[in-house]
Structure 1
Amino acid sequence: MDTQNCFHCGLDIVKEAEILFDAKTFCCAGCKTVYEIFSLNDLTSYYDFEKSPGATPQEIKGKYDFLENENIVAKLLEFQEDTTAIVSLSIPHIHCSSCIWILENLQRLQKGISNSQVNFPEKKVRIIYNSNEVSLSEIVQLLCSIGYEPYISLENYETTKAKTDRSLTYKLGVAFFCFGNIMLLSFPEYFEVKEFWLDNYKPFFRWLIFALSLPSFLYSASGYYVSAYKSIKSGMLNIDIPIALGIVVFFIRSTVDIVMDYGSGFFDSLTGLVFFMLLGKMFQIKTYSFLSFERDFKSYFPVAVTRINTDASEESVAVYDIQKGDRLLIRNQELIPVDGILISENATIDYSFVTGEAIPINKKSGDKVFAGGKQIGEVIEMEVLFSVSQSYLTQLWSNDVFQKNVEQKHKNITDSISRYFTPILLLIAFVGFAYWIFKDANTAFNVFTAVLIVACPCALALTAPFTLGNVLRIVGKQKFYLKNALVIEQLAKVDTIVFDKTGTITTNKKSNISYEGEPLSEANLIRIKSVLRASNHPLSRMLYDFLPDVGKVKISDFEEITGKGIQAKVVGNFIRIGSAAFAGNSEENSGLQTSVHIQINGEYYGKYIFKNEYREGLEQLFNSLKSKYEIKVLSGDNAGEKAALGQLLPKSTELVFNQKPEQKLEFIRQLQESGKNVMMVGDGLNDAGALAQSNVGISISENVNVFSPACDAILEASQFEKLDYFLKFSKKAMLVIKMSFGLSLLYNVVGLTFAVTGKLEPLVAAIIMPLSTVTIVSFVTLMSNYYARKLIKVRS
């Protein structure tokens, strides 16, 4: 019977069973329905990415009726607030660019879905939807109807994960079994044991070896055939094409040898080749997994949250030390690090970090608050339901809503080399074969196979990710936490560094504070300290710690006005704390000193004068940076400390005072327009806009839970003086990448030279290929560790 392929899923169609629609053929009504859905919603571009990329939709009937149960749905959701809900679903069928494209366009298929993001390596889709307009059950049924049925396990929904794919382990085991036994059965052939290797036994053992090679050839090596087929089908040549071709040629040549009685063939080499290639692939996957684990484990944000102890005292604790049942204090603009129950009467939470929607949500006592929300307004208290999920905070930090659109050039280098590598490799293999076939047929086949196997760009492709992955791990141990590997490349390009002053080059741990003005009563001190308690500004924190612990009272209508100050009502009294103009002191000379002014019920009382303490090692840091970078200091404060800074910092440093947040952002933009590659170092509060605008934004963290996804890196304040070390190390990391590129290319040139001249056996090539991967990984690890230690010694 004549057959053809289904337009949607690519399966064979029996002529009598085909369904014609829109001049296209489909294997079943399900595939036709999916095509109709895409066509009606103008989504037929799905088929442009890959021919027949879909899966046949399965009949689900009542399979997902349990999703009508709100209690079950609540446990499956990772976020649910007001009308916004977020769910992450495992989709095993995700396999190509078409899958990603259609799953990230679900909002065009279903009203109520606002956004969907695909995590391709984990085969998951994260969907944000309006629970008033669409239910989780409807979303799951939509996914099923277009051939992307999710995997949902109710038995362990709290830690739901797709089943671990062990296929590579099984294939490696089968390949090892076949390789070992074939080698054992080939010993008489190797040593020409004539007493045993009689004519009666020779055919039997050769066909037994042939039979043992089949599982390795058909099953263990199947991944290479599938990958090569998909690559050819999509019109893109990947490295699996020459590998698959080499294996097939090896098998055919060996089979012909046995059938024609030319010899025993090369089944030992063939199965050894498959085994060692799979072993190399396993090594690569395991090493990637290790680096990923190191990255997750070491990427704890150097932030803390205020915990209220049983004796009502407050202490700052690391976020990963928070336990269920703890009571936390969350100030204005602080990130809620864990799910919990609100204890305070009310709160206003901004969940834009989670959902991308900036509309604040009002909560009342007893309501559940979710990790990732940002408190807006007065200080609140909450009780912890679950200990902190560091991976969840990492997910927030890497949310696409807050990503900068920067081209990843190191990936482009690797991709462009790999793109040209395969056709050149095939050309060399065929030319080598054509040259040797007229001299020696055995050598010709060996040359052809060895060339295809030895010249693998795997080592080339691993260079950048392994180097940058190891650098992430090294700097993470030194409390410099980068959002992703691309930040390292950007750091290496920086030529201009802009520092914020307050909270960045000054420390909020130490400051000499004095008061000038009308005496403050104990009642007013309590009111002032209660208002300061809700603020996270460095000066507010310093003043809060400086004032005596005279008690706390409830505040209301708290508001923090960026660049001006804070205000709130305290037991009927209206308090303003901030700049001179904000507190109503028009006579203040703004150029004399750093100060915080107090106004109570419209009456100006006085000011607290700050003599800032600068961070240890500041002068040494700036002196080491001045020769290679343009250095600028921006401050929202007045120019009172200009003279002191002028003596402390290099003369070439530009000092700019009285800068509002929007002026800082504009300052960065103007530098970039003049061709500068700018790194901004700020405290993550008033500097959020400037951090986001800069090429690299680094937030200095003391011990407060203010976390801005706008930044590219978080540097613990104690490591501030190491900033020059991190910049130098980023340049060395890029040098290691270039060196390892050169090493990988040298390996390929030498390997091809030996292969083309017939001096390299295919089995040896198969062993060398994974060894090249081990060599590159070892080289980049050793070199990056070497430069890390060397630069530390130079600093000391």
Structure 2
Amino acid sequence: MNVQNCFHCGNDIVKQEEIIFDEKSFCCVGCKTVYEIFSQNDLTCYYDFENAPGATPQDIKGKYDFLENEDIVTKLLDFQEDSTHIVSLYIPHIHCSSCIWILENLQKLQSGVSTSQVNFHEKKVRITYDPKKTNLKEMVLLLSAIGYEPYISLENYENKKQEVDRTLFYKIGVAFFSFGNIMLLSFPEYFEVGEFWIEQYKVFFRWLIFALSLPPFFYSASGYYVSAWKSIKSGLLNIDIPIALGIVVMFVRSTIDIVFDYGQGFFDSMCGLIFFMLLGKLFQQKTYNFLSFERDYKSYFPIAITKILANGTEEPVQVYDIEKGDRLLIRNQELIPVDGILISPEASIDYSFVTGEAVPIIKKSGDKVYAGGKQIGKVIEMEVLHSVSQSYLTQLWSNDVFQKKVDQKYKTITDTISRYFTPALLLLAFVSFGFWVFRDVSTAFNVFTAILIVACPCALALTAPFTLGNVLRIMGNRKLYLKNATVIEQLAKVDTIVFDKTGTITTNKKTSITYEGEPLNESELKLLKNALRGSNHPLSRRLYDFIPHQEKIETTAFEEIIGKGIFATFGEQKVKLGSSQFLQHMSENTHKKTKVHVEINGIYKGSYVFNNQYREGLEQLFENLEKQYNLVVLSGDNDGERKILEKMLPDSTTLVFNQKPEQKLQYIEQLQKQGRNVMMVGDGLNDAGALAQSNVGISISENVNVFSPACDGILDAVQFSKINYFMRLSKNAMKTIMMSFGLSLLYNLIGLSYAVTGNLLPIVAAIIMPLSTITIVSFVTLMSNFYARK
């Protein structure tokens, strides 16, 4: 029978069942239909990434009718508003670049889909769609029709996706069982024991060894064959090709030895090779999982939310201490960290964190509000439905909408070396085999197999991710939370550091405040305290804490103009506070101190004067940083404290005052045009634009639930004086990567020199290979920990 492969899924086609369409062969109507869908929507380049990457669509008639039930759909959705629904679907078939490409182009196949993002590691796709144009059932049916049927379980939906895959453990167990028993049965021939009973049963033992070698060869090593075959089909050469080739060569050669009675073969070496390589893979997997767990666990943002206690008092608590049923106070510009029910009469919520759209949505009392929304306007209260989902907050923070384009230099080095490594390795193996085959056939096979196994670039490929992953963990332990590992590379390149003043180099906790002007009575203090209650500006928070406890009253209107001030109304009463320009009150400010002016019902009352307390260790920090970086203090305040800062900070520090938020952004832009790599350190409020513009944006957090989605890291305020430590650690991380590259290349050169000369047995190469991985991981861990302690 003539058999060929399906153009879409790659399965064998029996000639009588072949379906020809567009001069291409398909194994069934389903595969042809998928090709037609892609063809009609100009998506046929799906097949350019990899040959036959698709899966045969399954018959799912009626299977997803339950998705017509709105209550069920609501449970599955991550986010649900009038014109935007977001769902994360687990798709087991995701396996290659073609899958990523087609799943991130769903908007071309289905109207109503705005974006779709693939998480390749977790095999999930996150789809944002308009429920007025499409629905979840239609999307699930579309995904199933193109061979990407999602797994949806209404019972324990979350946990099912996180089941541990134990296949690797089973493969290691099978390989170890065969390896141990084959070694045991091979001892008589190893030691050339010539007793009669051994000679009589030698043939039986050899065939028993052959039988024991079959499960490891066909089952335990199957992953290498599949990976190598897919690599060859896609026209690329990955590292699994020489490994698979080495295993097959050893098996064939050992089988020939037994069949023609040349000897017992190398089945013990083959099974040992498979066992040790799988052990190395398990070690890599466990180390990655450990780093991932540490990252997830340590990534709790050092941000606080205000919890309203049973007696009505307010206290800041860490976001991960929030529990179901708690009542929270959300101020202007604060991030809503959990799903909940709105208690206040009305709220205006900006979901740009979630959707990328900055149009506020009006919610009424009793409506559900979702984690990731940002409160705009007056203060609101909400009741918590679920405790905080750290992974969800991290996912929002890492949303592609807010990602900066970063230089992937070190990843490119790894990719480049790996790309050319395999062809060079295969060439060296065949040349060495050709050289030795005319001298000693047995040595030739040993050399060929040892070269293929010992020269594995796994250790090389692991260098950058393990180093950066470990440094990410170390920084997290020390309360600098970075968005991802590439930020460390960017930190290492920084040559200019720009600091905001208020709330960044000054602290919110130790400021002395005095009042100048007409004394305020109790009712005026009540209005002022409640107007400040909704603001998150550092000066507002300090003043709010400074004013004595007052009865709480609801604002009828609230507006905070960034960099200027607050306007709040309470029925007929109006409160205005902020800069003198905002109040249009040009008072004399001979000392040019930081002031917040107060106007009630159109009458100017006076001002609160702030004697700023600078953060502990500021002078020493600037002194240390000055040696390697250009330093700038960029402030929205007047220059009243210029002389103080000039005395405190090094002479080379540039001081720039009276900067509006947009001017801060432009200043950063100008520095970048001069070729500077700029890090901005701010509080995430007035300097959100500057944080986004900078090469690295670090947001200082001090019991305030506000940070910019565009910031690359969040630094707990107590660690402010350690900024120089983090900068040095990032540079040393890059140094560790380079040293590790050198170590890995040295290991490969030494291993190959022994293998080429015939002095390295395949079984020894198999043991050395995972040891090299362990060596590299241990080296980068020790070095990064050494630099961390240093």
Tell me the residue number matched to 1:377.
377
Q: Distance in 1 between matches of 2:431 and 2:10?
A: 35
Q: 1:780 to 1:110 in 2, by over 3 A?
A: same
Per the alignment, residue 296 of structure 1 pairs with: 296
What are the residue-to-residue correspondences of 1:342-357 with 2, within 5 Å? 342-357=342-357
Instruction: Provide, for residues 114-161 of structure 1, a one-character-per-residue CA deviation record: whole Å limited to 9, x for no partner.
Output: 110000011110111111211111110000000000011111125441
For residue 287 of structure 1, give the secondary structure of its aligned residue in structure 2: helix
CA distance in 1, matches of 2:615, 2:714: 17
- 1:26 aligned residue: 26
- Provide the residue aligned with 1:150 in structure 2: 150
Contact 2:330 2:379 in 1 (8 A): yes
Partner in structure 2 of residue 663 of structure 1: 663
1:717-771 CA-to-partner distances (Å, cap 9, x unmatched) read: 1000000011011111111111111111111010001111111110000001000
Matches within 5 A, 1:65-76: 65-76=65-76
**8 Å Cα contact 1:447/1:755 also seen in 2:** yes
What letter matches 1:43 in structure 2? L
Q: Where does residue 645 of structure 1 map in the other structure?
A: 645
Instruction: Name the amino acid aligned to 1:419.
Output: R
* 8 Å CA contact retained: 1:698, 1:711: yes
Aligned length, in residue pairs:
790
2:685 corresponds in structure 1 to 685
> 1:16, 1:270 → 2: CA distance?
41
Q: Is the 8 A contact 1:90 1:162 kept in 2?
A: no
* Cα distance in 2, alignment partners of residues 83 and 195 from structure 1: 84
Which residue of the partner structure matches residue 239 of structure 1?
A: 239
* Corresponding position: 1:275 with 2:269: no
Alignment correspondent of 1:264:
264
Q: Give the structure 1 partner of residue 557 of structure 2.
A: 557
Matched position secondary structure for 2:353? helix
8 Å CA contact 1:115, 1:127 repeated in 2: yes
Q: Percent identity?
A: 74
2:321 equivalent in structure 1: 321
Task: Write the deviation string for residues 146-195 of structure 1: whole angstroms up to 9, x where unpaired.
Answer: 00000111111254415432221111111111111111111111122221
Which residue of structure 2 aligns with residue 61 of structure 1? Answer: 61
Q: CA, structure 1 residues 738+280, in 2 after alignment: closer, same or farther (shift >3 Å)?
A: same
Counterpart in the other structure of 2:428: 428
1:337 CA displacement = 0.7
Cα distance in structure 2, aligned partners of 1:258 and 1:382: 76
- 1:52-88 CA distance string (max 9 Å, x none): 1111111100111111111111111111122211111
Between the aligned partners of 1:118 and 1:407, the Cα distance in structure 2 is 21
For 2:635, give the aligned amino acid. S
Q: Is the 8 A contact 2:107 2:115 kept in 1?
A: yes
State the Cα deviation string for residues 617-674 of structure 1 (Å, max 9, x = none).
Answer: 0001000111110000000011111111111111111110010111000000100010
Q: Could you tell me which residue of structure 2 aligns to residue 793 of structure 1?
A: none
Can you give the 5+ residue segments of structure 2 that lack an aligned partner in the other structure? none
> 1:778 is matched with which residue?
778
Which residue pairs with 2:745 in the alignment?
A: 745
- Other-structure match for 1:478: 478
Are 1:255 and 2:251 an aligned pair?
A: no
- In structure 1, what is the Cα distance between the partners aligned to 2:196 and 2:211? 21
Instruction: Rate the CA distance shift 1:19–1:269 in 2: closer, same or farther, 3 A.
Output: same
Cα pair 2:334 2:705 within 8 Å, conserved: yes
Letter in 2 for 1:619: E
Residue 179 (1) aligns with residue 187 (2): no
Partner of 2:336: 336
> Could you say which residue in structure 2 is the equivalent of 1:212?
212
Query: Matches of residues 130-209 of structure 1 in structure 2 within 5 Å?
Result: 130-161=130-161, 163-209=163-209
Distance in 2, Cα, partners of 1:417 & 1:756: 21
The one-letter code of the counterpart of 2:59 is E
Tell me, in whole angstroms, the C-alpha distance in 2 between the residues paired with 1:633 and 1:323. Answer: 40
- Match of 2:44, SS state, is coil
Task: Go from structure 1 to structure 2 and tell me whether the alpha carbon gap of 1:328 and 1:438 turns closer, same or farther (over 3 Å shift).
Answer: same
C-alpha distance in structure 2 between counterparts of 1:163 and 1:36, whole Å:
35
AA aligned opposite 1:537: H
Measured in 2, the distance between the counterparts of 1:770 and 1:94 equals 28
Cα distance in 1, alignment partners of residues 691 and 256 from structure 2: 67
* Counterpart residue number, 2:229: 229
1:490-505 maps to which residues of 2 (within 5 A)?
A: 490-505=490-505
Deviation at 1:4, TM superposition (A): 1.7
CA distance in 2, matches of 1:587, 1:263: 102
Cα separation, 1, equivalents of 2:782 and 2:354: 39
RMSD, matched Cα: 1.1
Gaps of 5+ in 1: 791-796
SS of residue matched to 1:336? coil
SS class of match (1:186) = helix
* Contact 2:683–2:707 under 8 Å retained in 1: no
Amino acid at match of 2:577: I
Q: Which residue of 1 aligns with 2:721?
A: 721
Distance in 2, Cα, partners of 1:723 & 1:602: 45
Aligned partners of 1:587 and 1:568: how far apart in 2?
Answer: 22
Aligned to 1:794: none
Question: 1: distance between equivalents of 2:197 and 2:601?
Answer: 108
Trace 1:42-61 onto structure 2 (pairs within 5 A): 42-61=42-61
How far off its partner does 1:42 sit?
A: 1.0
Q: 1:627 is aligned with what amino acid?
A: K
TM-score, structure 1 length as denominator?
A: 0.98
Residue number in structure 2 paired with 1:617 = 617
Q: CA deviation at 1:6?
A: 1.2
1:604 maps to which residue? 604
SS for the counterpart of 2:556 is strand
SS of 1:628's equivalent?
Answer: coil
Write the distance in 1 (CA, Å) between the matches of 2:162 and 2:750: 43
Q: 1:363 to 1:783 in 2, by over 3 A?
A: same
Match of 1:627 in 2: 627
TM-score by length of 2: 0.99
Residue 183 of structure 2 aligns with an amino acid whose one-letter code is M
d(CA) in 2 for partners of 1:470, 1:162: 23
Q: For residues 336 and 160 of structure 1, what CA distance do their matches in structure 2 show?
A: 28
1:740 maps to a residue whose letter is S
Q: Give the 3 Å change call, closer, same or farther, for CA 93–700 of structure 1 in structure 2.
A: same
CA distance in 2, matches of 1:25, 1:437: 43
